[in-house]
Structure 1
Amino acid sequence: MGNKFLQYFSLTLTVIGAINWGLIGFFNLNLVALLFGSMSLLSRIIYGLVGLCGLYLLSFYGLVEQDRTSS
């Protein structure tokens, strides 16, 4: 169960980060900074967690490769 939770948690946070980057790119709106303050402690924690989740999701490339070779 722990591994599934980590996968879903990481994927969810990374999607939230991607949406935030989209808002910044298209509308110059940083939703994290708007909700939690510009570079407040909570904002920095959220940015850090999104970055760690992105690094963790790099390991999913190995899973994709395994699925491709087993088919």
Structure 2
Amino acid sequence: MGFIHRLALALVIIGAINWGLIGFFEFDLVASIFGGQTAAFSRVIYALVGISGLICIPLLFRTSEEEEFGTSRQSSRNLQYGTEFGEEPEFTDINEAASKENEKNK
């Protein structure tokens, strides 16, 4: 998810909280902070929340696979590193097999 989508989602969450406050307590937080519902800055905030809702519509149609395995560079590399706690091959067995092979060939 890019920066624009994260910003849009944050504004949608702010709008949802504001609507919750209006529904439960009849208190419009945006209007009270920015000087009423008809104040210019309040209207800008309302407009940004509305545009953010439109931007977030594609999130409804994304599958879980797209979320998990998006098109990021990191997930497309498929790097696999061993850990220091992994099992190491037994080189003594390989050396013994090689020495037995050498003895057979002589």
With structure 1 as the length reference, what TM-score do the two structures score? Answer: 0.83
The CA deviation at 1:4 is 1.1
Moved over 2 A (4+): 64-67
Q: Give the Cα–Cα distance (whole angstroms) in 2 for the partners of residues 25 and 15 of structure 1.
A: 15
CA distance in 1, matches of 2:58, 2:65: 11
Q: Which has the higher helix share?
A: 1
1:66 Cα offset (Å):
6.2
1:59 is paired with a residue of what secondary structure?
helix
Name the residue aligned to 1:5: 3
The one-letter code sitting in structure 1 at the alignment partner of 2:11 is: L
What do residues 31-67 of structure 1 show as CA deviations (whole Å, max 9, x unaligned)? 0000001121100000000000001111112323764
Report SS of the residue matched to 2:2: helix
Quick one: higher RCO (CA 8 Å, sep 6+), 1 or 2?
A: 1
Partner SS for 2:62: helix
Check if 1:53 corresponds to 2:36.
no
- Could you say what secondary structure the match of 2:27 adopts? coil
Aligned residues: 67
Give, in whole Å, the separation in 2 of the partners of 1:46 and 1:26: 21
RMSD: 2.1
Which of structures 1 and 2 has the bigger CA Rg? 2
Q: TM-score scaled by structure 2?
A: 0.57
Q: Which runs of 5+ in 2 are unaligned?
A: 67-106
State, as a whole percentage, how many aligned pairs show the same letter. 45
